[in-house]
């Protein structure tokens, strides 16, 4: 940055170099936007000078100089207007992996760092992908309703039949950590596994560079790729129709990756058989057209939602915030804090 003095990252001592706003005699160094942190972790952040606020609170208020850390999550994010409220911001700590809802041009222009909580939710998200696949194939939701409706009247009742996973083909969109964990589980179910991504990997699964071709060859298509502009709506009408009237789409990644309007149309017309969704295009608002489709099962973005994983994620987030104020390396940086951002 022209005209800025280059410094190494500072080593903070208690209160040193921290310029903060004071409200009601309480120093605010951290603003917590996410509402899903465990209460004990919120208390820890408050003890470090944090305050929990909603997006509406931030939008309605003025600038908050002195706030150096913003805690958010992939659902809440931090757009350009939000970031503008914090002129002294140095770090966005994200409770989750995805950072596509954080305004990257602002982050890069101002030298703001980003830390997330990777490596903790892989197994749980992969478990949920398999749970959705199984629930769809074995009609768990409608069969539960079948019993509740009093229709299971005799042992010989003709209960609707489901579908087996054994010997079925599953294509995974994105073979990162989560995609690989899903592939491992699917293989254990004796499914044939293929994957699509930007490059082939040294794995025992079939690489498919053409997503439409992969959809045509599979019974299940599981979306596990990262979000962002480069993957927006890559699962489009052509892909969905290639998956076909007996095919199932499973999405545990980002709603933006699937063309939701095309998904609704394909399900309604029978060009796609089933969908099992943990994520949606406009969360938490879910399309009314999806809500009542009998061939759709849904969960409310619960991929990492186990007690154990959410606590581990929260503790890692706190470690990142603590490291920032100590001036030590962040445990899990995504975007490093620019050296010139420390103008203390």
Q: What is the pLDDT of residues 306-338, one digit of tens each?
A: 999 999 999 999 999 999 999 999 999 998 876
Q: How far apart are CA 81 and CA 59, in angstroms?
A: 8
Instruction: Using DSSP, state whether 192 is helix, strand or coil.
Output: strand
Distance of CA 36 to the CA centre of its chain: 14
Task: Show Cβ contacts of residue 154 under 8 Å, excluding neighbours closer than 6 positions.
Answer: none
Name the nearest CA neighbour of 325 among 4, 6, 11.
11
What residues pair up with 196 in beta bridges, in sequence order? 173
Could you confirm whether 199 is annotated as catalytic?
A: no
pLDDT band (50, 70, 90) for residue 343: very low
Kindly state the tokens that stand for 75.
């659902």
pLDDT digits (tens, 9 = 90+) for 231-261: 999 999 999 999 999 999 999 999 999 999 9
pLDDT digits (tens, 9 = 90+) for 5-38: 333 333 333 333 333 444 445 689 999 999 999 9
Flag whether pLDDT at 183 surpasses 90.
yes
CATH superfamily of 21-118+308-341: NAD(P)-binding Rossmann-like Domain (3.40.50.720)
pLDDT digits (tens, 9 = 90+) for 55-66: 999 999 999 999
First CA to last CA distance, the chain:
15
Percent of the chain with pLDDT over 90: 81
Q: What is the reported pLDDT for 157?
A: 77
For residue 30, give Cα distances in angstroms to 47, 171, 321: 10, 42, 9
Domain range summary for the chain, segments of one domain joined by +: 21-118+308-341, 122-298
Cβ atoms of 113 and 91 within 8 Å: the answer is yes
Listed in sequence order, the DSSP H helices in the chain are 39-47, 55-60, 80-84, 104-110, 122-137, 140-148, 177-188, 211-216, 237-243, 260-269, 288-291, 307-326
**Between these two residues, 342 and 275, which has the higher pLDDT value?**
275
pLDDT digits (tens, 9 = 90+) for 80-131: 999 999 999 999 999 998 898 999 999 999 999 999 999 899 999 999 999 9
Could you confirm whether 283 is annotated as catalytic?
A: yes
Q: What is the reported pLDDT for 156?
A: 76
Task: State the pairing for strand pair 169-173/220-223.
Answer: parallel
Task: State the pairing for strand pair 50-52/30-32.
Answer: parallel
pLDDT digits (tens, 9 = 90+) for 157-174: 788 889 999 999 999 999
**Between these two residues, 222 and 152, which has the higher pLDDT value?**
222
Rounded (10°) angle between helices 39-47 and 307-326: 10
pLDDT digits (tens, 9 = 90+) for 139-149: 999 999 999 99
Considering the candidates 283, 285, 308, 319, report the single residue annotated as catalytic.
Answer: 283
Q: What is the reported pLDDT for 336?
A: 83
Could you confirm whether 11 is annotated as catalytic?
A: no
Flag whether pLDDT at 1 surpasses 70.
no
Considering the candidates 185, 254, 260, 310, report the single residue annotated as catalytic.
Answer: 254
Q: What is the reported pLDDT for 26?
A: 65
Considering the candidates 301, 308, 310, 319, report the single residue annotated as catalytic.
Answer: 301
Cβ atoms of 330 and 341 within 8 Å: the answer is no
Flag whether pLDDT at 54 surpasses 70.
yes
3.20.20.140, 1.20.1090.10, 3.40.50.880, 3.40.50.720: CATH of 122-298: 3.40.50.720
Q: State which H helix or E strand residue 165 sits in.
A: none
Q: What is the reported pLDDT for 62?
A: 94
Cβ atoms of 224 and 176 within 8 Å: the answer is yes
Question: Do the domains at 21-118+308-341 and 122-298 have one common CATH topology?
Answer: yes
């Amino acid at each position: 940055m022209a005209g800025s003095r280059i410094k190494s990252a500072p080593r903070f001592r208690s209160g040193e170099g921290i310029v903060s706003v004071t409200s009601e005699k309480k120093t605010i160094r951290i603003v917590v936007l996410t509402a899903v942190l465990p209460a004990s972790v919120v208390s820890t952040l408050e003890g470090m000078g944090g305050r929990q606020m909603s997006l509406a609170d931030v939008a309605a208020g003025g600038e908050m100089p002195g706030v150096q850390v913003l805690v958010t999550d992939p659902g809440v994010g931090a757009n350009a207007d939000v970031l503008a409220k914090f002129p002294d911001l140095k770090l966005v700590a994200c409770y989750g992996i995805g950072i596509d809802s954080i305004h990257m041009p602002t982050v890069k222009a101002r030298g703001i760092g980003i830390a997330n909580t990777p490596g903790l939710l892989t197994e749980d998200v992969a478990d949920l992908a398999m749970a959705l696949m199984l629930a769809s194939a074995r009609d768990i939701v409608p069969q539960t309703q079948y019993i509740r409706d009093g229709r299971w009247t005799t042992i010989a009742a003709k209960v609707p039949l489901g579908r087996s996973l054994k010997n079925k083909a599953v294509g995974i969109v994105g073979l990162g950590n989560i995609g690989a964990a899903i592939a491992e589980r699917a293989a254990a179910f004796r499914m044939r596994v293929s994957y699509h991504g930007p490059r082939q990997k040294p794995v025992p699964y079939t690489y498919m560079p053409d997503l439409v071709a992969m959809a045509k060859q599979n019974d299940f298509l599981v979306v596990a790729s990262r979000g962002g502009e480069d993957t927006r709506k890559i699962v489009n009408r052509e892909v969905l129709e290639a998956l076909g009237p007996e095919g199932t789409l499973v999405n545990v990644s980002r709603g933006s990756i699937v063309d939701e309007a095309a998904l609704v149309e394909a399900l309604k017309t029978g060009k796609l058989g089933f969908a099992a969704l943990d994520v949606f295009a406009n969360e938490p608002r879910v399309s009314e057209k999806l809500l009542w489709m009998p061939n759709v099962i849904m969960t409310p973005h619960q991929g990492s939602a186990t007690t154990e994983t959410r606590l581990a994620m929260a503790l890692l987030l706190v470690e990142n915030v603590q490291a920032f104020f100590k001036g030590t390396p962040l445990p899990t940086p995504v975007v490093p804090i620019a050296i010139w951002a420390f103008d203390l």
